[in-house]
Chain A
């Protein structure tokens, strides 16, 4: 059973547009929600993360929106650039962070 569900599977956005990737979870014990970015041939790298005590976190062009009651969180990439083309994974963790549950990934293609 997948603990974190991610959509869409793939996304095409024009340069300068907004990319939005959504994730949903069931386990209310999750208390840490990171997003990872993976380029081809590389390992995932932490992009931004949020805890459920805030509804939004922004770092540069990247924003996480968090809806605790709906058990959903999303990544917004403003002014998307071709260099943002990568696969994005949401994840969730609880307690001691030893175990992360990853979403199935979204392949983002930003067209010039």
Chain B
């Protein structure tokens, strides 16, 4: 069983479109995250949710909207996609203590 699973693995779309990435964790963790990894492999946090409550919003454009229907799911919706949004997006989860992040396999988003 995959601990943190995200779909789709690849997403190719046109500029201006709206797309969503889904994430689910079966580890019973309270905290979930979205990280963005750019073309230079630099990993940066975007959002953090604790038990469905938004904890961290790292100056991400309003076009990005996370949604947590329950503590096992954290989805990312992106409106009006831009070329600069092309990256790998990772979902992650952690226990309440937060010391260890468990990452999903990533969603490679390509905006054409």
B is bound to A: yes
Chain A interface (Cβ < 8 Å from any Cβ of B) = 32, 34, 36, 41-46, 49, 87, 89, 93, 96-100, 102, 104-105, 107
Closest to B103 in A: A43
B residues near A (Cβ < 8 Å) are: 4, 31, 40-45, 48, 50, 55-56, 90, 92, 94, 97-106
A89/B55 in contact, CB under 8 A? no
The one of B41, B45, B100, B106 in contact with A104, judged by C-beta atoms closer than 8 angstroms, is B41
Whether the pair A105, B41 counts as a contact (CB closer than 8 A) is yes
Residues in A whose Cβ lies below 8 Å from that of B4? 43
**Closest CB of chain B to A50's CB: distance in Å?**
11
Interface contact B44-A102, CB-CB below 8 Å = yes
Question: Is A87 in contact with B41, judged by CB distance below 8 angstroms?
Answer: yes
Smallest CB separation, B71 vs chain A (Å): 15
What is the distance, in angstroms, from A47's C-beta to the closest C-beta of chain B? 11
Report if A42-B99 is in contact (Cβ < 8 Å); known contacts: A87-B41, A99-B56. no
Distance of A44 Cα from B42 Cα, bound (Å): 12
Q: Which of A49, A99, A104 contacts B40 (CB 8 A)?
A: A104
A44–B43 touching, CB < 8 Å = yes
Cβ contact within 8 Å between B41 and A41: no
- CB nearest neighbor in A for B98: A97
- CB nearest neighbor in B for A51: B99
**29 pairs of residues in contact across A and B, judged by CB atoms under 8 Å:** A32-B99, A34-B99, A42-B103, A42-B105, A42-B106, A43-B4, A43-B92, A43-B104, A43-B105, A43-B106, A44-B43, A45-B103, A46-B100, A49-B100, A87-B41, A96-B98, A98-B48, A98-B50, A98-B56, A98-B98, A99-B48, A102-B42, A102-B43, A102-B44, A104-B40, A104-B41, A105-B41, A105-B42, A105-B43
Known: A43-B90, A43-B105, A46-B100. A104 touches B56 (CB 8 A): no
